[in-house]
Amino acid sequence: MSYPSLPFTSKLFQLTALTLSLALAGCGGGDGGTDILPPVPDVGVQSGTDGTGVAVGEVNISAITLTDTNGNMTNVVTSAGASAKVTVTDESSAPISNALVTFAGDGVIFGTSNATVLTNENGEASISISPIDSTTTGAYQMTATASYNNETATTAGYNFSLQPVNVLLTDLVLSSINLNSGASTNLTLKTKDATNNVNQNGITVDFDTTCGTFDSDSVVSSNQGDISVTYKSIDADGNLCEGNQTITATPANNTAAKQTVSVTIASIEANSIVYTTDNSVELGASNSGSSSSGQIVFTVFANGIPAANQQVTINKVFAPADLSFVTLGNRSSKTVTSDSDGNVTVNLYPGALPGPVEIKASLVLDPTIFALSKDVSVATGRATQSGVSISLSKNVLANSVDGDTATVTARLVDRVGNPVSDGTVVSFVSEGGRVTPNCATANGVCSVEFSTQNPRPADSRVSVIAFVEGDKSYTDVDGDNQFSVGDIFTHNIGDFFRDDNENNQYDSPNGEFVYRRGVSGATCAPSSFNQPNILGTCDDKLTATLRYQFVLGLADSAPLYSGLPSTLAASAGTAVFQMYGNSARTISMASGTTISVEGDGPSGTCEAEIVAGYVTVPSIVNLQGGTSVVDIDAVSYAFSYSDCVAGDKVKVTVQTPAPAATTTTTTISIT
């Protein structure tokens, strides 16, 4: 019988050889009773050595043992930490040194960054463990894996639990228990394990206080359980603390072990006051129709921190006599208290009188510490009739096109020359063309646009009126800057109208625009073109609808001449004429129109030049509102000529501007 051959190093071969030898020995075998022993088996090359050079065939790892900080066996890990240990051996239970052992487990952190250590000469591998969080509790499991020369072995899972240390806070001390308001102090304490009275690191302690702040609200103990934190007697909103305050330290994992300590903070003592209104305050007079009050703010400080509940005296240093402050009607010193932000807000109530305002705020405890208000005034009143002004970018436009425009600007002041309140509305109505209906003032000024289009009045003159609510002009006899008994109207006005035909009277059959207030009882001022007024509609009250009327011209593209000769005598002379912008001769040419003359002809010596009149029609032409005719001086011209002989010519050229640019040349013969 044949058998398959086996390698000498195989365990099967060794077992087979041993069996055979025993069988032979039992049979007596061999040559007459001599025992025959098998050869020593070849065990081959092992995968490692035990550290002494002896080959190692297997890697074995013991179960994990867990000990506390006192070396006692445990299956509980607290924030005090514990130590896990295994022993690594070979198949003959000999220790293996320098084996790599890696620990793994949830809920804990290990003593090396990769949770791996080497075994010592006794085959032991130890590593410290601690909870990831000192407040974490529950049951967990860990394992350890040994690795040596490509052989590994892993322990069974080791079950353990995480429990918080029974923490005590001891040695709670403030470096100072008496503080000035706003000052700070250091607080120190230790964290201990109550079970064994050992200082404990890694314990989170939270801090709280009845008033104040900490440089850190939560600190973890270290270096033998030490904790240090800085307390500052200023709350989270920046307010100063004062009086007795309590500081509480609480272990995060054992709130029942909290400790308290008291600190006494001196009363807040203000030592500065600042005017903190950072913009100018311009108050409208009480009769202006604008805001009837305003506010300014002072801030009280103690060592640079806003100080609450401080007594401050408010005085009027300079101000119009009728201005009141703090409360309506008060004109004497008042004591007020700073709020939680250290602010003292002072209400101001203007009267009718304008002028600068200076308010003083001083500390009651030390009146030498004070601040003065800056850039405060009572300035703005209602618009007054004599303070309404209208200006135009130009006043004669092109009649032949739509869309030639002029800017109309209204300027309003009160009776003392101050700009009216922002937002005062000025309205406009027009006899022809188109005008923006209204504008609101900023710094007493606002503008609208007039544009040419239908309707176009037959006389080429457009009456436009601006109106606004305000006060009549009056003489302040008693000097109190408000209208009262004995004061005299300089121009009493009532209802008004738009004087389309410029005859200074309201003509209802013509359908002229009229604005009625429905009052009577006082004598009205005569009507004028700029301030049209309807008699019998005035009262003795101050308020009125103010008005200002003006006229715009609509000029044709070609000039209409009056007095311009068709022939001129030879040699030299002067020609005088008028140049109008319409056939009715009521307006000039459009603003910006130019006129020029030149000599021409076979003689080559004829010369001519304008010697009188506007070479360029100005932006504003005197249209003499209320007369229906243009000022004659605005349309009058003259030119001179010389060295001209029969057959020569003088050419008069007129160029109108865009948007109706046209060139018109008129030739005058020399005879």
Which 8-state DSSP code applies to residue 422? T
Q: Same fold for the domain at 55-160 and the one at 167-265?
A: yes
Amino acid 572 reads A
Query: What is the pairing mode between strands 662-670 and 60-61?
Result: unpaired
In the predicted model, is pLDDT for residue 145 greater than 50? yes
Q: How does DSSP assign 124-173, residue by residue? A: EEEEEEEESSTT--EEEEEEEEEEETTEEEEPPPEEEEE----EEEEEEE
Maximum CA pair distance of the chain?
Answer: 183
Calculate what percentage of the chain has a pLDDT beyond 90: 74
In the predicted model, is pLDDT for residue 58 greater than 60? yes
In the predicted model, is pLDDT for residue 128 greater than 50? yes
Distance of alpha carbon 385 from alpha carbon 426, whole angstroms: 13
Calculate what percentage of the chain has a pLDDT beyond 70: 91
Q: How does DSSP assign 483-509, residue by residue? A: --TT-EEEE----EE--TT-SSS--GG
User: Is 358 buried (19+), middle (13-18) or exposed (0-12) by CB count in 10 A?
Assistant: middle
Amino acid 536 reads G
Distance of alpha carbon 513 from alpha carbon 559, whole angstroms: 32
In the predicted model, is pLDDT for residue 619 greater than 70? yes
CATH class of 272-380: mainly beta
pLDDT digits (tens, 9 = 90+) for 332-347: 999 999 998 999 999 9
What does the pLDDT read at residue 289? 65
What does the pLDDT read at residue 291? 63
Q: Which fold has domain 55-160?
A: Immunoglobulin-like (2.60.40)
Q: Is 166 in contact with 193 (CB distance < 8 Å)? A: yes
Name the residue with higher pLDDT: 323 or 10. Answer: 323
What pTM did the predictor assign?
0.60
pLDDT band at 354 (very low <50, low <70, confident <90, very high): confident
What does the pLDDT read at residue 56? 55
**Beta partners for residue 547, in sequence order:** 467
pLDDT digits (tens, 9 = 90+) for 405-446: 999 999 999 988 989 988 899 999 999 999 999 999 999 999
Distance of alpha carbon 303 from alpha carbon 123, whole angstroms: 67
What does the pLDDT read at residue 50? 47
State in Å, rounded, how far the first CA of the chain is from the last one: 164
pLDDT digits (tens, 9 = 90+) for 642-657: 999 999 999 999 999 9
What does the pLDDT read at residue 37? 35
pLDDT digits (tens, 9 = 90+) for 203-234: 889 999 999 999 999 999 888 889 999 999 99
Domain covering 167-265 in this structure, CATH number: 2.60.40.10
Q: Is 553 in contact with 395 (CB distance < 8 Å)? A: yes
In the predicted model, is pLDDT for residue 548 greater than 50? yes
Q: Which residue, 8, 12, 101, 88, is CA-closest to 56?
A: 88
Which 8-state DSSP code applies to residue 355? E
A 10 A CB-CB count for 112 gives 12
Q: Is 592 in contact with 395 (CB distance < 8 Å)? A: no
Domain covering 556-670 in this structure, CATH number: 2.60.40
Length of the chain equals 671
In the predicted model, is pLDDT for residue 552 greater than 80? yes
Distance of alpha carbon 488 from alpha carbon 475, whole angstroms: 5
Domain positions in the chain are: 1-39, 55-160, 167-265, 272-380, 409-450+465-553, 556-670
In the predicted model, is pLDDT for residue 53 greater than 90? no
pLDDT band at 157 (very low <50, low <70, confident <90, very high): very high
Give the list of residues 6+ apart from residue 425 with CB closer than 8 angstroms, or none.
Answer: 438, 439, 440, 441, 468, 469
Q: Which residue, 334, 300, 298, 336, is CA-closest to 315?
A: 334
Q: Say how many CA atoms lie within 13 Å of 531 toward its Cβ.
A: 20
